[in-house]
Structure 1
Amino acid sequence: MTDDELILATRARVAGRGLPGPASAEDVTRFERIVAHPMPELLKRMYLEVANGGFGPSKVLSLTDTGKWFGDRADTAMAYDDFAADPDYPLPPGIVPLMNRGCAMWTLIDFRTPDGQMWDWDPNLCCLPHALAPLEQSLAQWLTDWLHDVMPDGPPHRELSSRDCPRW
């Protein structure tokens, strides 16, 4: 699917959900300054053209506190700050929490990649040093899977980051 098709399909999928209106360009710029990386273009368009959060599987966090929480954080900036402030949750710079899946599990996006490579954070699989792993798909692929109802139930399938994990 093209980005335009993804935008249109996402709008249709979330119609009637009572989501917040689109984010402003200033909201996007402010968050890009916090992360110190440009937002992947498709994610930027989703926030600017669809809604300020609530789209996608399990509902993507808002860029700003809209009064509607789509997880246990008011917005993406709060989640990003929480990860950055906690030495037990070491994320590489530019990896941004996007969607809270509950039980300390997150879906994240890489702002360092133009297509927004997706990542998984699941400390329940092994241990904190191995909680982060790439999902080997872009934001476009991830959204396409959601739109076609082929997202896995529960945590995504992934290889553990290291086979030397004590719980492996």
Structure 2
Amino acid sequence: MLTILDNPRSVAEDLDVTDDELILATRARVAGRGLPGPASAKDVAGFERIVGHPMPELLKRIYLEVANGGFGPSRVLSLTDTGNWFSDRADIAMAYHDFAADPDHSLPPGVVPLMDRGCAMWALIDFRTADGQMWDWDPNLCCLQHALAPLEQSLAQWLTDWLHGVMPDEPYSHRELSSRDCPHW
């Protein structure tokens, strides 16, 4: 059985955790949260058309097998408006369109806002990568020009951090240090 919830090993030691184990651990962690039921394959396909890239397989499976939003540290956005808003956006498509429409956000195509971390901070996921590389949006560090940065971890690693309870509520420490080189600091 999965030890990810029981054993606070480092992320590096959990690289052999399978998607099946992460899905089981995620389902166990969110049990009792009253989340919406799983999304439909039609909802996934519709959002993939909007983004123009396939959804990373692990994220797709979580939406299809666990819940249509609400999982994760600060509750991942739903694919469709389920009536349960996990940010000030009804769903992930609204967040994606809002980011794309705002010239200050300038996200690369295929990078999708996934979770509102509060205080204008967002966790984003790269649909252009099979493993769902994670990105951070934090305009509070210095300026909008430097708000976006890759986290250099996959969705699986990001979820593992959350399941271990090591997901930061504040800015990521390595981002805070690197932002001090910004001339706008």
Q: Are the counterparts in 2 of residues 42 and 139 from structure 1 also a CA contact under 8 Å?
A: yes
User: Do residues 127 (structure 1) and 146 (structure 2) align?
Assistant: no
> What is the aligned partner in structure 1 of residue 9 from structure 2?
none
Question: Alignment partner for residue 10 of structure 1, among 17, 26, 49?
Answer: 26
For residue 97 of structure 1, give the secondary structure of its aligned residue in structure 2. strand
Deviation per residue, 1:11-67 (Å, 9 max, x gap): 111011100000000000000000000000000001000000000000000000000
Q: Are the counterparts in 1 of residues 132 and 155 from structure 2 also a CA contact under 8 Å?
A: yes
What TM-score comes out, normalization by structure 1 length? 0.96
Return the index of the structure with the highest Cα Rg.
Answer: 2
User: Do residues 142 (structure 1) and 158 (structure 2) align?
Assistant: yes
Partners of 1:158 and 1:26 in 2: CA distance: 38
Identity of aligned residues (%): 81
Partners of 1:117 and 1:152 in 2: CA distance: 17
Partners of 2:182 and 2:51 in 1: CA distance: 31
> How many residues of Structure 1 are paired with residues of Structure 2 in the alignment?
167
Alignment of 1:108-127 (within 5 A): 108-127=124-143
Partners of 1:47 and 1:158 in 2: CA distance: 30
Give the 4+ runs in structure 1 shifted more than 6 A: none
How far the C-alpha of 1:103 sits from its partner, in A, is: 1.4
Q: Where does the alignment leave 5 or more consecutive residues of structure 2 unmatched?
A: 1-16
Q: Are the counterparts in 2 of residues 133 and 161 from structure 1 also a CA contact under 8 Å?
A: no
Partners of 1:26 and 1:113 in 2: CA distance: 21
Q: Where does the alignment leave 5 or more consecutive residues of structure 1 unmatched?
A: none
> What is the aligned partner in structure 1 of residue 89 from structure 2?
73
Alignment of 1:11-160 (within 5 A): 11-159=27-175, 160=178
For residue 96 of structure 1, give the secondary structure of its aligned residue in structure 2. strand
What TM-score comes out, normalization by structure 2 length? 0.87
Q: Which amino acid aligns with 1:143?
A: L
Partners of 1:157 and 1:113 in 2: CA distance: 24
> What is the aligned partner in structure 1 of residue 181 from structure 2?
163
Across the aligned residues of Structure 1 and Structure 2, the Cα RMSD in angstroms comes to: 1.2
Q: Which amino acid aligns with 1:110?
A: D
Q: Are the counterparts in 1 of residues 141 and 179 from structure 2 also a CA contact under 8 Å?
A: no
Partners of 2:30 and 2:71 in 1: CA distance: 6
